[in-house]
């Protein structure tokens, strides 16, 4: 129940009063304590300080962190980890020259995953998803958002969200859920998008809300998927059920989704690989968090979200994995941080802030997650012995995690 970490070489992201989010120049600051201790009680960070001023915390289980760095666990605000099977054949098709869009037009992509998921039992889906969740916890993720969107029928969408809910009951990690019924137009509704939108509004959304299965509503606003008009309809309908928008926009094309999402008070707008100056302007001085997904860009060989430009323009930025079977079959936040530094030119400080405080904001978890603050949930990464925190993104292929603590418990 109680745990003391001592002799921490450097404790990162120490904030007595943690701001809800960090924007622009604020993202360059990463406050740390050298030669530090942290005391955890009942899953909460009760106290911390430097070794010369240790509180009366004797007699508890103690971890000697000599040479090690301690930081808040990652807050991964965008994933689709509840899915069935994989799509490595499409990966090979892309190597052989087909584009992501061409594969989707041939019946691959999201509808391919939906077919698999519809044929998978809830128990099997739970087991497959639990394996992924355990994997990302060991990689240092302490809070995660999970979307539906590979069901595309009422039953299958509800099945996905029930699996996510059961995961949150069985595991110590904090889980937030998002209804993404508008992820693709299912095969049965080909040529009848409005019919599917009617089903979403009249049947799926009310059931999701009644069973209290999601806090957020999402839509894939993109050419060939859903338009800005469709997005406005789904977000307005979601609002009637008290669902807050978090949306997929600007992955391949800029079609005006960002300004519309901001107007609907979206908590986050995610992807943004294609970002016009108007899109960037629309995000300024708003409460909407832009979220970049660099391992998706890596895997699909598409442009990276212009994170450097966005931060230089004064915007906040969060980083997440997008873990899913089609565009990002990886939930490794350490790789995301490294890729943000290497490919998007974020500094290590900016990347760590984007993956902790700003990631927590993008899940509505600012008060409880994302920093070393008294009273916040004890979600921590203890690294192996590393020379400095800049080594984390620098040594991008190495496993640098020694121990992960989630809700005050050591994860093995």
**Helical spans, DSSP H, in 119-253:** 122-138, 154-170, 193-199, 205-210, 228-240
Site for ligand NIG (CB under 6 A): how many residues? Answer: 12
**Beta 268-271 vs 244-249: how paired, if at all?**
parallel
Segment interacting with Fe ion, rule: CB under 5 A, options 63-71, 99-107, 313-321, 322-330: 322-330
Segment interacting with ligand NIG, rule: CB under 6 A, options 106-114, 260-268, 373-381, 391-399: 106-114
Q: Are 204 and 154 in contact (CB under 8 A)?
A: yes
Binding at 69: pick from Fe ion, ligand NIG, none (beta carbon under 5-8 Å per type): none
CB of 241: closest distance to Fe ion in angstroms?
21
CB of 79: closest distance to Fe ion in angstroms?
8
Residue 388 burial (C-beta neighbours within 10 Å; 0-12, 13-18, 19+): exposed
Residue 269 burial (C-beta neighbours within 10 Å; 0-12, 13-18, 19+): buried
Residue 322 as a binder of ligand NIG (CB under 6 A): the answer is: yes
Nearer to ligand NIG, 204 or 292 (CB): 292
What DSSP element (H or E) covers 8? strand 2-12
CB of 275: closest distance to ligand NIG in angstroms?
15
B/e letters for 154-179, b = 16+ CB within 10 Å, e = fewer, are eebbbbbbbbbbbbbeebbbbbbbbb
DSSP 8-class letter at 23: B
Of 144, 93, 120, give the one whose Cα is nearest residue 324: 144
Residue 218 as a binder of Fe ion (CB under 5 A): the answer is: no
Query: For residues 121 and 402, what is the distance between their CA atoms, to the nearest angstrom?
Result: 36
Segment interacting with ligand NIG, rule: CB under 6 A, options 105-113, 190-198, 308-316, 335-343: 105-113
Residue 76 as a binder of Fe ion (CB under 5 A): the answer is: no
Nearer to ligand NIG, 330 or 403 (CB): 330
Selected binder of ligand NIG within 220, 304, 361, 389 (CB under 6 A): 220
Q: Are 84 and 150 in contact (CB under 8 A)?
A: yes
Residue whose CB is nearest to ligand NIG in the complex, by number: 326
Segment interacting with ligand NIG, rule: CB under 6 A, options 31-39, 48-56, 107-115, 162-170: 107-115
Selected binder of Fe ion within 322, 337, 351, 363 (CB under 5 A): 322
Query: For residues 24 and 341, what is the distance between their CA atoms, to the nearest angstrom?
Result: 16
Residue 178 as a binder of ligand NIG (CB under 6 A): the answer is: no
Q: Are 136 and 331 in contact (CB under 8 A)?
A: yes
Selected binder of ligand NIG within 72, 326, 348, 359 (CB under 6 A): 326
Nearer to Fe ion, 222 or 322 (CB): 322
Residue whose CB is nearest to Fe ion in the complex, by number: 322
Of 186, 141, 115, give the one whose Cα is nearest residue 322: 141
Residue 246 as a binder of ligand NIG (CB under 6 A): the answer is: no
Tokens at residue 118, please?
A: 């519809």
Selected binder of ligand NIG within 30, 48, 109, 318 (CB under 6 A): 109
Q: What share of the chain is helix, strand, coil (3-state, %, to 5)?
A: 40, 25, 40
Residue 371 as a binder of ligand NIG (CB under 6 A): the answer is: no
Q: Considering just the CA atoms, what is the radius of gyration of the chain in Å? A: 21
Binding letters toward ligand NIG, positions 287-306, x by CB under 6 A? ---------x----------
Binding site for Fe ion (CB under 5 A): 322
Binding site for ligand NIG (CB under 6 A): 109-110, 113, 220, 248, 251, 296, 322, 324-327
């Amino acid at each position: 129940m109680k745990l003391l970490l001592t002799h921490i070489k450097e404790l990162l992201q120490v904030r007595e009063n943690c701001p809800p989010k960090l924007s622009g120049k604020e993202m360059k600051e990463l406050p740390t304590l050298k030669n530090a201790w942290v005391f955890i009680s009942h899953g909460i960070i009760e106290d911390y300080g430097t070794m010369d001023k240790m509180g009366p915390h004797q007699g508890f289980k103690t971890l000697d962190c000599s040479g090690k760095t301690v930081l808040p666990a990652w807050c991964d605000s965008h994933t689709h980890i509840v899915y069935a099977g994989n799509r490595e054949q499409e990966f090979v098709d892309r190597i052989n020259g087909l584009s992501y869009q061409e594969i989707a037009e041939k019946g691959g992509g999201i509808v391919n995953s939906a077919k698999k998921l519809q044929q998978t039992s809830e128990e099997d889906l739970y087991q497959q998803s639990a394996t992924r969740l355990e994997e990302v916890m060991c990689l240092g993720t302490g809070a995660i958002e999970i979307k539906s969107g590979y069901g595309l029928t009422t039953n299958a969408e509800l099945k996905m969200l029930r699996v996510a809910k059961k995961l949150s009951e069985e595991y110590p990690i904090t889980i937030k859920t998002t209804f993404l019924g508008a992820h693709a137009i299912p095969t049965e509704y080909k040529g009848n998008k409005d019919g599917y939108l009617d089903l979403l509004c009249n049947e799926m959304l009310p059931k999701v809300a009644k069973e209290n299965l999601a806090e957020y509503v999402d839509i894939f606003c993109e050419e060939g998927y859903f338009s800005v008009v469709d997005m406005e309809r789904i977000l307005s309908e979601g609002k009637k059920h008290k669902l807050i928008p978090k949306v997929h926009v600007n992955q391949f094309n800029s079609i005006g989704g960002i300004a519309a999402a901001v107007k609907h008070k979206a908590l986050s707008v995610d992807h943004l690989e294609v970002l016009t100056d108007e899109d960037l302007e629309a995000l300024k001085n708003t409460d909407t968090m832009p979220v970049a997904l660099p391992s998706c860009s890596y895997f699909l060989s598409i442009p990276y979200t212009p994170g450097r430009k966005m931060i230089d323009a004064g915007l906040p930025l969060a980083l997440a994995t997008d873990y899913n079977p089609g565009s990002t079959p990886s939930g490794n936040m350490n790789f995301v941080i490294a890729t943000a530094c290497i490919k998007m030119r974020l500094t290590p400080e900016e990347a760590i802030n984007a993956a902790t405080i700003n990631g927590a904001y993008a899940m509505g978890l600012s008060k409880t997650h994302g920093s070393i603050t008294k009273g916040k949930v004890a979600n921590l990464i203890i690294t192996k012995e590393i020379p400095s925190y800049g080594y984390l993104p620098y040594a991008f292929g190495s496993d640098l995690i020694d121990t992960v603590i989630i809700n005050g418990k050591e994860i093995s």
